[in-house]
Structure 1
């Protein structure tokens, strides 16, 4: 009796302390009318997960058919996302609101979806709203925000697949070894065949079930796997095993083939013209960005995971728009989607973003990006990882446009921690134990003993300084990466975007650049180094090192010219 009482007390305490069950576990999404549209008016958001925008530029330059399939669409390459992963990105798209770790994530999702979200607004304006998320945590299931949700009333084990799975597992455990293969359902190559066939299954069902039948206008939000790893689908929609950026591009091509089939179904049933259609990525893939994508120039890669994760695909087709695919380089953001939709529909609702249809290419607009390092355990945590904020001024593919604000957002609050002001004449050292990391923005490898390699075709330093009364001299020491036909490293040196000099480096030493005092007016020196001869030891077949190396930096000094 004592032990029973002890267990009862323990269980009661655990039950009281347990957090409430999340709302997304209480509802189920009905897919009966997933492909039923209105003859009058439709708004369709097709999210292709992890689709990085430069891949699209490459693919449309290689396949002219894509331009024809996207009749009436405008492509917005200069788009910045809000976050590097799905969890925060989907609410950002559908509400226009940034999450900043000030409240638990699910509380934020609930508050924003029920106060200011495109599903809520369209539901109030008599739209039939169908939400089909890939991850249920990213939307708030409620009769106020969706027409296709219903509360789970009971759990009847016999009416689910769980009984079958239980038998399957039990037999697998107890039958002789040579029979186990008949009770093992997992695809060894791709681990989860049902999930990774999700997009193909989507388009096959769309072909069979797409129809006109809704009396009210409709809003459809479809979240597909898109270009998300693993890279296991080719352009013929065949299951394969792929790797690297080429594998990423191949799966992105498969996502466009699926999109092509889906848009064909909309045209076939006669709802393509009377639909606003948005095709987007929720974020980039963190893969290097081909800044020359879609041009006749050779590939030139930005190898920076922060920038790459913030460059999602964005395509928008207004109602009744026609003509070949257009390209607009206006400074766009995924937060603009909700604002653009309500603006085109003539609905008097305010969202944080701007309408894509009113932006101009020469608009000066600062966009915001919140970067964090993701681990899958955060799906089940109250808060997201600590977020580092970047301000994006200028063309989003250009690394020089990305400036850290030194604001970090965690569950403990906002932390503003800019690096200390540099004292003229002091020597800062690179490498293990050095103090230059506080100035390094991008383009640097892991510190080593006495030096740090640059990694990529460029590197950036941001150094807070006092406004100078005299011109300055910046001196950097180190040694170049030289091998085979690479006999020197040419380095363009830019301060605040202005090209001041080019170093031609053939041996270990120090290299200088004169900085006019006017370039210290904003109390910070933004130094960008462009490496014209950087190369990977792997590409040169020297080693397995795939870093793109130019200089091993050892120290830097900034001083006033006397």
Structure 2
């Protein structure tokens, strides 16, 4: 003990700081800056939580190294070697071995499809361990500890500069504005006129057509609708699809997406026409861009403050988010968490409504069944509902009872949301507002299997559901049209429907017409890369989806 110098503890402390910085400061900052619009909380909340985890990590690791140093110098050197191996491998895994990770979109993950990641991880840890062991054996005691300390310091300084640069240039330091979607009057219609878009996420027309064979009652439930079976959407994922549906304005990665979203409200023919006709507009969507000026357009959107209810509870999903990217393969399996884990920690202040909108189909239908649809003497109303629909995870049986997602299927979820849509139509009939309402039941994009099932083809989601009922429109049974319709035609269709035309007159295109229809394919895992296709045949036919050679990249 007399021969030991406390300066020998410095490499252990430096290594503790390096590991703590990489895992609990750099990793969450990098993840947040890359996906800031996916989180409700401000950078300050993240940094405070990360700083606390960093402090705990440094304290615990430093204490562990002190104990090893007191036990024996050899134990201390082995501890340094182990920490250095973990540092290097964690850095490589989190920054260079993430391209083929499964998506955290709520779908069940079959880890057997990712054995290559396990193999790569084993090779990485083996190679780094062998090199570190060789350094520990061949280098003199002091030289090894200094090497570990200097390399750890260099890596930390490099990550520090990167983290500071990304934080300052990504705009995440600006405080987020938060808005609440009031839903107290989501089922209150005008006794004058109404225009409703009920958008059910990820509802594929191909699957709906198959369900029609087993559910002939759909023809009665939606008897006054025209089902435009041969419809091609615009984008393969929600984030780009919704603003296009509302504006008809293509996004081609040629400007910041927030700028596009901000301008979308101004250029939208639909919104402009609704305002000119004096419609009271309600926007029930939790993902669209919003600011104070835009919020004034909608009667149910208001500014609120979001606070974190618990830093302790916040740490759990944050650790899982970090671990999913940076942890070894076997530990990644323990890092799966539900997408709403962060949302559940919101404490909303200065709220002016008793009931706020949720995208949950279960809650939407439950509220609908409880309060029903009523009417009031008011200006015409426009309502846009964006619900989870048949999106993963598949948590419903055919009657919309919640089940374990491992028991659910896409088809069961489809049956559940069509039951929900039929329920909305029936409640609308009972309210007396049915005849004076334009009702569009649609999806933002279709579904072509999970990424695990069909690989890159999973993003070819060109067949969204589109059913339309015009004002005072009546049929004996649901009409099915094979007109080659595109989401690019929607704005003109909206204007015609607002003017009182029936669904069959909403589009110029008729059955038997031939046209090429544009579709932009991308993955939410890589939004900066968009590929253009033309559908040259029927919407259902993937073989007639032709690459144009045009790409839109950022």
Scaled to the shorter chain, the TM-score interval is: 0.5 to 0.7
Task: Specify the alignment match of 1:338 in structure 2.
Answer: 491
Partner SS state of residue 386, structure 1: strand
Distance 1:117 1:345 in 2: 12
Cα distance change on mapping 1:14 and 1:53 into 2, 3 Å: closer
Cα distance change on mapping 1:13 and 1:281 into 2, 3 Å: closer
Distance 2:283 2:183 in 1: 9
Partner SS state of residue 409, structure 2: helix
Q: Higher relative contact order by CA 8 Å / sep ≥ 6: 1 or 2?
A: 2
User: Which stretches in structure 2 are left out of the alignment for 5+ residues?
Assistant: 1-160, 318-335, 345-357
Alignment of 1:338-357 (within 5 A): 338-346=491-499, 356-357=506-507
Distance 2:406 2:414 in 1: 13
Task: Specify the alignment match of 1:61 in structure 2.
Answer: 213
Task: Specify the alignment match of 2:426 in structure 1.
Answer: 264
Partner SS state of residue 234, structure 1: coil
Deviation at 1:113, TM superposition (A): 1.4
Deviation at 1:263, TM superposition (A): 1.4
Deviation at 1:374, TM superposition (A): 2.1
Cα distance change on mapping 1:197 and 1:107 into 2, 3 Å: closer
User: Which stretches in structure 1 are left out of the alignment for 5+ residues?
Assistant: 1-9, 173-187, 289-300, 349-353, 379-383, 412-562
Deviation at 1:132, TM superposition (A): 0.5
Deviation at 1:51, TM superposition (A): 0.5
Task: Specify the alignment match of 1:213 in structure 2.
Answer: 376
Any idea what the Cα deviations from partners look like across 1:522-544, whole Å, max 9, x if unmatched? xxxxxxxxxxxxxxxxxxxxxxx
Task: Specify the alignment match of 1:310 in structure 2.
Answer: 462
The answer on 1:233 being equivalent to 2:233 is no
Deviation at 1:143, TM superposition (A): 4.1
Task: Specify the alignment match of 2:250 in structure 1.
Answer: 98
Partner SS state of residue 309, structure 1: coil
Task: Specify the alignment match of 1:390 in structure 2.
Answer: 533
Distance 2:175 2:365 in 1: 29
Deviation at 1:403, TM superposition (A): 1.0
Is residue 80–residue 367 contact of structure 1 (8 Å, CA) maintained in 2? Answer: yes
1:136 to 267, 285, 288: 288
Deviation at 1:137, TM superposition (A): 3.9
Alignment of 1:393-408 (within 5 A): 393-408=536-551
Is residue 195–residue 498 contact of structure 2 (8 Å, CA) maintained in 1? Answer: no
Q: TM-score, normalised by structure 1?
A: 0.57
Distance 2:291 2:492 in 1: 18
Deviation at 1:307, TM superposition (A): 7.8
Partner SS state of residue 509, structure 2: coil
Task: Specify the alignment match of 2:387 in structure 1.
Answer: 224
Cα distance change on mapping 1:13 and 1:238 into 2, 3 Å: closer
Alignment of 1:27-426 (within 5 A): 27-137=179-289, 142-143=294-295, 145-152=297-304, 162-163=308-309, 165=310, 192=340, 198-209=360-371, 210-242=373-405, 247-287=409-449, 305=457, 308-323=460-475, 324-346=477-499, 356-375=506-525, 384-411=527-554
Deviation at 1:66, TM superposition (A): 1.2
Deviation at 1:362, TM superposition (A): 2.1
Task: Specify the alignment match of 1:500 in structure 2.
Answer: none
Cα distance change on mapping 1:336 and 1:224 into 2, 3 Å: same
Cα distance change on mapping 1:56 and 1:141 into 2, 3 Å: farther
Deviation at 1:29, TM superposition (A): 2.1
Deviation at 1:190, TM superposition (A): 6.5
Task: Specify the alignment match of 1:545 in structure 2.
Answer: none
Q: TM-score, normalised by structure 2?
A: 0.57
Deviation at 1:53, TM superposition (A): 0.6
Distance 2:251 2:179 in 1: 23
Partner SS state of residue 236, structure 1: coil
Deviation at 1:369, TM superposition (A): 0.5
Distance 1:343 1:400 in 2: 33
Cα distance change on mapping 1:169 and 1:223 into 2, 3 Å: closer
Distance 1:339 1:139 in 2: 27
Distance 2:222 2:481 in 1: 14
Is residue 27–residue 141 contact of structure 1 (8 Å, CA) maintained in 2? Answer: no
Deviation at 1:363, TM superposition (A): 2.1
Cα distance change on mapping 1:73 and 1:168 into 2, 3 Å: same
Is residue 123–residue 144 contact of structure 1 (8 Å, CA) maintained in 2? Answer: no
Is residue 36–residue 214 contact of structure 1 (8 Å, CA) maintained in 2? Answer: no
Is residue 180–residue 303 contact of structure 2 (8 Å, CA) maintained in 1? Answer: yes
Task: Specify the alignment match of 2:9 in structure 1.
Answer: none
